[in-house]
Amino acid sequence: MRKYLFVAVAAMMATVSISGQNIYADSKHEVGISSGGFSTSNFIDLVRVINDVGRDDGVMYSVNNLHSFTLEYFYRVKEWLGVGGMLIYGTGNPVATEIADGAPISEIKNGAKIAEMKNRYVSLMPTVKFDWIRRQYFGMYSKVGLGFTSRHEQTLYSHYTRSNEQASFLHLNGHLTLVGMDFGSPHFRGFFDLGFGEQGIILLGLRYKI
């Protein structure tokens, strides 16, 4: 009796496992949402505000509101290869602050602003995703995207005899995920990426496979 029970249970488990594998193998579409920080545009922010104000020992530079939000889609043309694209929205707030020699940290943070930028960026990037490990409940991958960013800047001056400025322009941009990992069910997963580009250095998100 135990022998027949064991065989029946094993057969049921095998059926469920095969069914799950087929569902996962047949999934052709992936939709994901994510959030990251320290994007390419944020580094551009810092360089632009430093060049604008100038390198001075009495000035501290910082970049706040380092956020990027991504909506991505991939169609799986092969088991290990997906093609699609990413729509990325990002913000940045670089600030130049006047400091006195030997000022404590508390005063530096609350120092008089010389210049402040309030920036927004929207990027559209065709993207390719490579799955190195593709399992029911775990996966590892890399991805690369290249496209354009529409950049909108607003610069506010406090201590300079200069008028506030606004500018918009379009430039080439990209993103490279060196290693990404996702965990969860065959259809619904959380994921974690490490890389550099317009999505940011560290990325957290959710993905649904259809």
Mean pLDDT of the residues in the chain: 81
Is 88 a member of any domain? yes
Smallest Cα–Cα separation from 107: which of 97, 96, 117? 97
pLDDT band with cut points at 50, 70 and 90 for residue 10? very low
Does 65 or 181 have the greater pLDDT score? 181
Is 194 a member of any domain? yes
Which residues form the domain of 16?
A: 2-40+66-92+118-153+164-209
Give the count of domains, the chain.
Answer: 1
Residue 19 pLDDT exceeds 90: no
Q: What is the pLDDT of residues 20-34, one digit of tens each?
A: 444 455 678 999 999
- Alpha carbon distance 32, 71 (integer Å): 6
Is 193 a member of any domain? yes
Is 82 a member of any domain? yes
Is 45 a member of any domain? no
Does 73 or 157 have the greater pLDDT score? 73
Q: What is the mean pLDDT of residues 35-44?
A: 89
The answer to whether the beta carbons of residues 36 and 203 sit under 8 Å apart is yes
Please report the pLDDT score of residue 160 as a whole number: 60
Is 171 a member of any domain? yes
Is 175 a member of any domain? yes
pLDDT band with cut points at 50, 70 and 90 for residue 72? very high
The answer to whether the beta carbons of residues 34 and 191 sit under 8 Å apart is yes
Is 186 a member of any domain? yes
CATH number at residue 14: 2.40.160.20
Q: What is the pLDDT of residues 133-177, one digit of tens each?
A: 988 889 999 999 999 999 998 878 776 666 777 888 899 999 999
